[in-house]
């Protein structure tokens, strides 16, 4: 449908599988498993099922940061190929009924604990290990403020701007303009905050930084949607400073390549021991 074609919504919407763009082969208007498929299980207490999208990278960075601090947080990271519909296997749906990566099983207790939604996983791990969530009440609240800001804002960047700029069947000016405006507004929110703060919660690196960096750091560093020039990201100098500082952390370098199977640079489809990454770095 071109920008000039007039679309009148019907009284009752019906699904057209031919109008789904790049993801038409997997998108459906209903939930639940589509095939019986058990999840693999490795030797570690933490079993992560993911892909190196921004939401997946949040969690692998967190695990690598915990390990860098010496915590007993070793993990297996299994590849969930969302392009092939792995997220609709019965085992994965049992961990995350919303069929989105990442999903985590923690086998440390008598019964495995499922944890889904990337923000929830970050909080769960931070509280489990007493790390990367400030102890001071005000700083903790600030970190959670920004964590949930990311959870609420990223759909405008991913499903909004990213979808219509990079993945829609054809470019459409209205949605691209609408979501470009919102993406730039969000970058400005971050830029104004980071002008006066080293990290999102002040001077302490936290799960808020881990949540925001794969999305907005990736955007300003030119790794998301190939849209850095389009959005004039050099205007956001404080976001760029912060993004480069986070990127330089060894655990971030390691975490961002786990479950990565596309693009340039280091890739590690699955991670089952520290030595898997040691071979790359």
Write the DSSP assignment of 156-175 as a string of letters.
Answer: IIIIIIIIIIIISSS--HHH
Indicate the pLDDT class of residue 1, thresholds 50, 70 and 90.
very low
Check if the beta carbon of residue 241 is closer than 8 Å to that of residue 247: no
Report the alpha-carbon distance of residue 182 to residue 173 in Å, rounded: 14
Residue ranges covered by each domain of the chain: 46-132+257-278, 137-248
CATH of 46-132+257-278, one of 3.90.1150.220, 3.40.30.10, 2.102.10.10, 3.10.50.40: 3.40.30.10
The share of the chain scoring above pLDDT 70, in percent, equals: 97
Structure token digits, residue 230: 């389009």
pTM for the predicted model, two decimal places: 0.96
Mean pLDDT confidence for 63-88? 97
Which DSSP symbol is given to 112? P
- CA-CA-CA-CA torsion sign (122, 114, 35, 38): positive
Instruction: Please determine, looking at this structure, whether the domain spanning 137-248 carries the CATH number 1.20.1050.10.
Output: yes
Coil, helix or strand for 1?
coil
Check if the beta carbon of residue 270 is closer than 8 Å to that of residue 50: no
In DSSP terms, which residues pair with 114 in a beta bridge?
105
Check if the beta carbon of residue 38 is closer than 8 Å to that of residue 86: no
In DSSP terms, which residues pair with 75 in a beta bridge?
46
Mean pLDDT confidence for 181-207? 98
pLDDT at residue 20, rounded to an integer = 65
pLDDT at residue 62, rounded to an integer = 99
| Each residue's pLDDT tens digit, 100-155 | 999 999 999 999 999 999 999 999 999 999 999 999 999 999 999 999 999 999 99
For residue 209, CA distances in Å to 127, 132, 206, 270 come to 16, 9, 6, 24
């Amino acid at each position: 449908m071109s920008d000039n074609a007039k679309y009148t919504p019907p009284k009752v919407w019906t699904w057209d599988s031919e109008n789904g763009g790049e993801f038409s082969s997997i998108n459906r208007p209903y939930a639940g498993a589509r095939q019986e498929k058990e999840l693999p299980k490795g030797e570690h207490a933490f079993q992560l099922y993911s892909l190196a999208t921004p939401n997946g990278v949040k969690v692998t960075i967190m695990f690598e940061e915990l390990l860098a601090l010496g915590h007993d947080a070793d993990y297996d990271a299994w590849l969930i190929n969302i392009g092939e519909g792995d997220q609709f296997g019965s085992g994965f749906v049992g961990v995350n009924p919303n069929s989105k990566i990442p999903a985590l099983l923690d086998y440390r207790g008598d019964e495995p604990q499922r944890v889904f939604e990337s923000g929830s996983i970050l909080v769960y791990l931070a509280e489990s290990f007493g790390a990367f969530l400030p102890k001071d009440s005000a700083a903790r609240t600030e970190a959670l403020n920004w964590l949930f800001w990311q959870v609420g804002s990223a759909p405008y960047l991913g499903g909004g701007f990213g979808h219509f700029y990079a993945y829609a069947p054809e470019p459409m000016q209205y949605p691209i303009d609408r979501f470009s405006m919102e993406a730039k507004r969000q970058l400005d929110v971050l830029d104004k905050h980071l002008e006066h703060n080293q990290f999102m919660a002040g001077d302490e690196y936290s799960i808020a930084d881990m949540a925001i960096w794969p999305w907005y750091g990736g955007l300003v560093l030119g790794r998301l949607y190939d849209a850095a020039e389009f959005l004039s990201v050099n205007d956001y100098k404080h976001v760029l400073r912060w993004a480069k500082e986070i990127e330089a952390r060894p655990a971030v370098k390691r975490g961002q390549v786990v479950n990565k199977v596309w693009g340039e640079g280091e890739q590690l489809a699955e991670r089952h021991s520290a030595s898997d990454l040691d071979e790359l770095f």
